[in-house]
Chains A and B, each alone.
Chain A
């Protein structure tokens, strides 16, 4: 079983997201970085599937050279092969990203064989384009379903569950297939000390890929208007309880 997971390195902002003065990018001067949460779960899912089906997990990312950090993290929790498509810009637009990923995937598959399963995050945490996995699947001629929160494999098909209001939908997708994963499909493991050490030595193969820019162009980023409210402090400690219950009565939520 060959599984590929495409991940994205994203900043991890705290109480607010600051933008650089030119509005080109998120100001990451004081921020750490992480793997976009849906993709962190996709990596975990791939590793679990590989453990059950004697598989091999490759993790691919398109991003700045520093994205190696996210690839190594994936290795520390069980991924086997790491591939980086380095870019120098802050971000590539979704069409360009999809096209470069498709080229890279086709190259890997030509050398090492088809991936039975390719996992993406449902959408990237930062730019939220909701399309890269679908574009890649279309280019590769493979079935794709987004929003997946459960996978069972049997007889060359993936039974995939997608949450909807009040239940879920079930898809039976023949492999090779592409799935867009949502956080909540599993609880990602933490790396072990051994995993961490091994990941430091893991090989990252970097391949530059060119791709033409698409038709969506960023002009600038800005923060939405914030509703500034004065906080009413109802009190300190348990003595505040009567004031809280007065408020609940006033708001009519106690009836």
Chain B
């Protein structure tokens, strides 16, 4: 009896998120009294074996096939499904990334089993009980799972990845799935690399603007402040809906999750769907005319006032001190 953990990699370099899944998976497997095994799909994956063993994988299944030239949801889903059947795995998990959730949904569809996405906690009794996230993290759901093979993903960032106290054996087991050429229809055909500097997701400083900014042009003041702080501009959905900024600037449940040292949120009311995208910020400074705004209540720091006066004053004060 085993728990199979899908680990993702890019030409041999493991995705950090996979180690979260493995860290979560090995303790789940231990509680359930089953073995924890990892699977990596596609060529070049063998270099990841040692790291997977260090994180608790007893076996590392290396799945390869001509069709598996690159990521493909159907090809990966079919491969994983065949492996689950072939080793008789009783549970399968992955980190709840775009790919992790996508592949597990394919596995569940093929096995005709439930799939519980984005769990933060699982108690593997006779029937498994779990806590999972809804609303992108604003709400939690306790659920039970009745299934032959348990298919569950672990919410991204819910676990801190750490090596196992007792490393796994890391026994390498090659696996060749039987794939019809048809599944190649959804394999990645091409990649476009956009050279970006600091991105919204990784910037140490984010200056966010909401409806209170009032217009597309109003963002110039926020750009200026972001510029002197070496940061980037973000925004709320009210702003993208108005066409003032591109969606790539949107912070929140259906936008980007940010985690800067400081988030300056100007003219943003702090709706829950915005907040889930901003709450990982180390510090938050709200600038709002309304002292009762939710963003002000939730922020560590606030300035009450018109952002069009406050933001330029901050930029000027920085310039003044820098001389």
Contact = CB atoms under 8 A, between A and B. Distances in A.
Asked if chains A and B come from one complex, the reply is yes
Interface of A: 13-17, 19, 26, 37-38, 93-95, 98, 123, 125-131, 134-135, 138-139, 143-147, 161-162, 164, 166-174, 182-184, 187-188, 214-224, 229, 231-245, 247-248, 251-254
Contact of A167 (B191, B247, B272): B191
B185 interface: yes
B186 A131 contact: no
A235 B318 CA distance: 17
A215 B310 contact: no
Given A138-B110, A147-B98, A223-B139, A171 B189 contact: yes
Contacts of B110: 138
A97 B318 CA distance: 55
Contact of B191 (A169, A216, A238): A169
B113 interface: yes
A146 B73 contact: yes
B28 interface: no
Given A245-B314, A253-B229, A233 B302 contact: yes
Contact of A146 (B98, B129, B254): B98
Contacts of A236: 303-305
Given A170-B192, A174-B185, A187-B240, A229 B134 contact: no
Contact of A231 (B146, B240, B301): B301
B109 A135 contact: yes
B114 A16 contact: no
B118 A128 contact: yes
A234 B301 CA distance: 7
Given A15-B270, A94-B114, 8 more contacts: A15-B271, A126-B135, A224-B137, A231-B297, A236-B305, A237-B304, A238-B310, A245-B314
20 contacts: A13-B138, A14-B271, A126-B135, A135-B108, A166-B194, A166-B199, A171-B186, A171-B189, A215-B145, A216-B146, A219-B144, A221-B134, A221-B142, A224-B138, A231-B300, A233-B291, A233-B302, A236-B304, A247-B301, A251-B262
Interface string B283-323: 10110000100101111111111100110111011100100
Nearest to B196: A166
A99 B246 CA distance: 36
Contacts of B173: none
Contacts of B314: 241, 244-245
Interface string B211-239: 00000000000000000010000000100
A175 to B, nearest CB: 11
A248 B262 CA distance: 8
Given A231-B297, A234-B303, A253 B205 contact: yes
Contacts of B189: 170-172
B317 A245 contact: yes
Interface residues of B, number: 95
Given A93-B114, A245-B314, A139 B109 contact: yes
B18 to A, nearest CB: 15
B160 interface: no
Interface stretch (B45-53, B61-69, B99-107): B99-107
B117 interface: yes
A167 B192 CA distance: 5
A168 B303 CA distance: 39
A191 to B, nearest CB: 14
A216 B114 contact: yes
B24 interface: no
Given A144-B186, A245-B321, A135 B303 contact: no
- Of the listed residues A98, A144, A244, the one surrounded by the most CB atoms of chain B closer than 10 A to its CB is A244
A43 to B, nearest CB: 15
Contacts of A240: 303, 305, 310, 313
A5 to B, nearest CB: 17
Contacts of A171: 186-189
A164 B10 CA distance: 12
A125 B138 CA distance: 11
A211 to B, nearest CB: 13
B310 to A, nearest CB: 6
B290 to A, nearest CB: 12
B185 A125 contact: no
B197 to A, nearest CB: 11
B294 A247 contact: no
A164 B145 CA distance: 31
Given A170-B189, A171-B188, A248-B262, A19 B303 contact: no
B140 interface: yes
Contacts of A247: 285, 301
